[in-house]
Amino acid sequence: MQRISEIDVFRLERPSLSEAERKRLRRERGQQEKEEGYQKLAELCYLGEYDMAKQMANKHYNWGYEIVDCIVMERID
């Protein structure tokens, strides 16, 4: 541990991430976004807002879901 007098606040930097770490973080963020998207779509369907759920699924194509017969399903391309 450093003493306060030894710390130079102008030299503090965030440690740079490796490319593998960046990929892992992007993958985790994408998975979290997909899960949250599913929850939003399922809630809209539960509330009877099928048209709104379809619009949201189409707008957020990267989530990978579509609404079929009022059910959230994984999109098959």
Q: What pLDDT digit, counting tens, does each position of 5-51 carry?
A: 777 777 767 678 889 999 999 999 999 999 999 999 999 999 999 99
Domain layout of the chain by residue ranges: 20-74
- pLDDT score, position 7: 76
> Is 0.75 surpassed by the pTM of this model?
no
pLDDT at site 12: 64
**C-beta separation of 41 from 53 below 8 A:** yes
Give yes or no for a contact between 36 and 60, defined as CB atoms under 8 angstroms apart.
no
**Residue 10 structure tokens:** 């102008």
